[in-house]
Amino acid sequence: MPLFEMTDSSFRTIPEKSFTDMGIGERSDIQRLLRTQIEVLGDDLYVLTEEFGEWEDSRRRIDLLAVDRTANLVVVELKRTHDGGHMELQAIRYASMVAAMTFDRAVEIHAAFLKQIGQSADDAKARLLTFLDWREPDEESFAGDVRIVLVSEGFSKELTTAVLWLRDREIDIRCIRLRPYQAGDATLIDVQQIIPLPEAQDYMVRIREKEQQERRSRAERWSAESQQFCVDYWDGVLAAIRPSGILEDGVKGRRKEDMRFKVGWPDFFLKSYFSRRAPKMSVWLDCRGDDGISHYEAIKAKQAEVEKAFGESLEWSVNEERETGSLSSPITGFDANDKADWPRQHKLIADKVVRLFRAVKPIVEPLNG
């Protein structure tokens, strides 16, 4: 809808422009102004930093990282395009990356930001505490959630559909449109929050709270049934393993779809996993602890010996980030929901667990000290 100037005799149309045509830059102009006037977006926010990125790909940077009055982090993603591109996908990735940020880390990055814009870095902690109305830092309350604010000249139907879907799943994400106009020598910016509509926000919150309560009730009913299902399933597997004598005393069925079998090896975990949603299962050995990868490599060096003792090939993998290694044996072609078939499934899992234990025992026990 066009913007109008009202005169004594008429409404005069003010031409709508685009940021690109007007030579307005995303970072050099829009971001630069918003970092010190974030209130333009209508939220009560405090900017911690700009161009924030602490991950391997340095090209991925949060345009503006802020905090709100309830100590939630706020990822602000900016675009000057008419459709917003794929900014919602970027913002979700960034939100997940900063979700574990601590108050102390927030102070560090804010100090660096203040120094960058020519202000005193020594005030960073005091400024943040003042904004949050805290006397002392409260790590438990800080960054309890991460909100997302998408700011663009326009948004495609594809993007807004994705945002509405995310909001239905309790992700606090909103879209704010900045639409430029040229009035003589003046540049006017029409700022509108389009998702959620401010007028309908309270109503939508009440509707969402009701839907969330209904979902929680359904989830609680499902959770209780699902947890008991898992306990019963693993109890059957454990009953099939116990005659082998490899289990520690007191091992009980777990309320989840994965199970760790305690066999007296603190840094080596025999595990199994099944899925009710797909015909898949796996039995594996995790090598963890300070020497996880080196222990894994010691076993891998004897791969042929281990696989011969196990009776079949194994899948070998390393997780460098977690400093762990694992060897696994997948199982397919079964339905965990078919309780009549449980005895066969339990025996199959138990057999693999016992064979894997015995195959690696000669190597693991010396490493285990």
- Give 303-338 pLDDT, tens digit per residue: 999 999 999 999 999 988 778 899 999 988 889 999
pTM of the model: 0.55
Domain boundaries, the chain: 3-196, 219-367
pLDDT tens-digit series, residues 31-69? 888 888 999 988 789 999 998 887 655 567 899 999 999
Whether residue 362 has pLDDT greater than 90: yes
Percent of the chain with pLDDT over 90: 48
Say whether pLDDT at 265 is over 60: yes
Cα–Cα distance, 60 to 339 (Å, whole number): 48
- Nearest alpha carbon to residue 238 among 214, 272, 285: 272
Residue 245 banded pLDDT, cuts 50, 70, 90: very high
What is the rounded distance in angstroms from the CA atom of residue 219 to the CA atom of residue 350? 31
Cα torsion 39, 45, 49, 53: sign: negative
The DSSP H or E segment spanning 345 is helix 342-367
pLDDT per position as a tens digit, 106-121: 999 999 999 998 999 9
Dist. CA 211–CA 277, nearest whole Å: 25
Distance (Å) of CA 358 to CA 83, 97, 156, 329: 59, 41, 58, 14
Residue 214 has pLDDT above 90, yes or no: no
Q: How far apart are CA 137 and CA 126, in angstroms?
A: 10
* Amino acid in position 276: R
Give the pLDDT band (50/70/90) at residue 237. very high
Q: What is the pLDDT of residue 186?
A: 85
- In angstroms, the CA 273 to CA 25 distance is 51
pLDDT bin (cut points 50, 70, 90) of residue 368 is confident
254: left (phi over 0), alpha (psi -120 to 50) or beta: beta
219-367: CATH number: 3.30.1460
Common-topology check for domains 3-196 and 219-367: no
Average pLDDT for residues 80-107, to the nearest whole number? 89
Q: Which residues contact 25 (CB under 8 A, 6 or more apart)?
A: 19, 80
* Pair of tokens at residue 223: 């959770």
Give 238's pLDDT tier (boundaries 50, 70, 90): very high
Q: What are phi and psi of 297, to 5 degrees?
A: -65, -35
pLDDT at 83 over 90: no
Q: Is residue 128 pLDDT above 90, yes or no? A: yes
First to last CA, the chain: 74
**pLDDT above 70 (res 183):** yes
- What's the pLDDT score for residue 339? 94
Residue 151: predicted pLDDT:
92
| Statement: residue 212 has pLDDT above 80 | no
CB 330, CB 280: distance < 8 Å: yes
Mean pLDDT of 177-197: 87
Specify whether the CB–CB gap between 159 and 87 falls below 8 A.
Answer: yes
DSSP β-ladder status, 268-274 and 258-261: antiparallel
Convert 129-159 to b/e letters by CB count within 10 Å (16 or more is b).
bebbeeeebeeeebbeebbbbbbbbbbeeeb
What is the band of 197 on the pLDDT scale with cuts at 50, 70, 90? Answer: confident
**CATH number given to 3-196:** 3.40.1350.10
